[in-house]
Amino acid sequence: MKVLITGDSHAGTLQRGRKLLVSKGEWPEQVDLMIQPFGGGHIFPTPFFIDKGDHAEICNKDFRKQFKRFPPETMANSDVIYGLSGPLHTARIRRSRAWSEFVPAQFAVAEAPVSNALLNKVILDDCQYLLKFIDIILRTQKKIFVVEAPRPFKHDSALTSIRPEVFSYFDNYYRSLIKQELKLRNVPVIAVGPECYDEDGFMLECYRHPMEDDMHHGNAEFGEVMMRKVLEFLLEQQFPNNPE
């Protein structure tokens, strides 16, 4: 079984988690898995590729250092399973200081209320190119799954200006909406389990990145948790049929 996981910088956490499993002798030889991120997730809301029908031609200069096209030409005719980290990384917009002045309607006190329709537009605009990228992979009848990024951490500096309940609500709303989009496409999600976050929706401190100024990446131990879930999923091979 050949597997390629790509996406944003959270894929690096998955790589460190996999190394832990390998060091413990817990990674099976039959799963030939490679992790090669595109790069920073801040590029994903931009048109980083050109739709060529049977593949995406990568046009962002930084991303092209990793892949010229996707699926890669060397894998185009093989039964590679693809994993993607990025569609469920909410920090791109959840950390915007705008949420200190504009909040979902039910949280509005002195702030301006924001409707669900506007929230939907903001989120779908942010994720539109990743969803189109997934559509290209599905069009080629390839198998793909998405790995969820960590939920927010309580040490996130954005919380100095954004209320925690608003921060957490927006994070959950984003994830729920994009998971619906992925479900419509029959794309499985390797989700962050409730054992990783508290009742308010914030990640447990034991999964915090060791760098003090890192606000949203998990540590190697979190990567190990997620890669165990990835491995279990791959061994079960429970992919739904791709939509026609």
Report the C-alpha gap between 141 and 120 in whole angstroms.
Answer: 29
Position 107 in a domain? yes
CATH number at residue 154: 3.40.50.1110
Q: How far apart are the first and last CA of the chain?
A: 25
- Cα-trace Rg, the chain: 18
- Determine the pLDDT at residue 9: 95
Backbone angles phi, psi at 41, to 5 degrees: -70, -15
244 — pLDDT class (breaks 50, 70, 90): very low
pLDDT digits (tens, 9 = 90+) for 106-144: 999 989 999 999 999 999 999 999 999 999 999 999 999
Position 92 in a domain? yes
Position 57 in a domain? yes
Looking at residue 127, its amino acid is C
- Determine the pLDDT at residue 129: 98
The single residue listed with the structure tokens 């002045």 is 101
Q: What percent of the chain has pLDDT over 70?
A: 97
- Determine the pLDDT at residue 207: 98
Position 59 in a domain? yes
The single residue listed with the structure tokens 């990640």 is 203
Print the domain residue range for 152: 2-236
Position 195 in a domain? yes
Report the C-alpha gap between 197 and 154 in whole angstroms.
Answer: 10
Q: With b meaning 16 or more CB within 10 Å and e meaning fewer, what string describes 189-216? A: bbebeeebbeeebbbeeebbbeeeeebb
pTM here is: 0.94
Position 242 in a domain? no
243 — pLDDT class (breaks 50, 70, 90): very low
Closest CA to 170 of 184, 146, 153, 152: 152
pLDDT digits (tens, 9 = 90+) for 164-210: 999 999 999 999 999 999 999 999 999 999 999 999 999 999 999 99
Per the CB < 8 A criterion, the answer to whether 1 and 231 are in contact is no
Mean pLDDT of 206-220: 95
Structurally, the chain folds into a number of domains equal to 1
Position 241 in a domain? no
- Determine the pLDDT at residue 44: 97
Position 243 in a domain? no
Closest CA to 208 of 53, 13, 35: 13
Per the CB < 8 A criterion, the answer to whether 37 and 67 are in contact is no
In Å, how far are 13, 132, 153 from 217, measured between CA atoms? 7, 25, 9
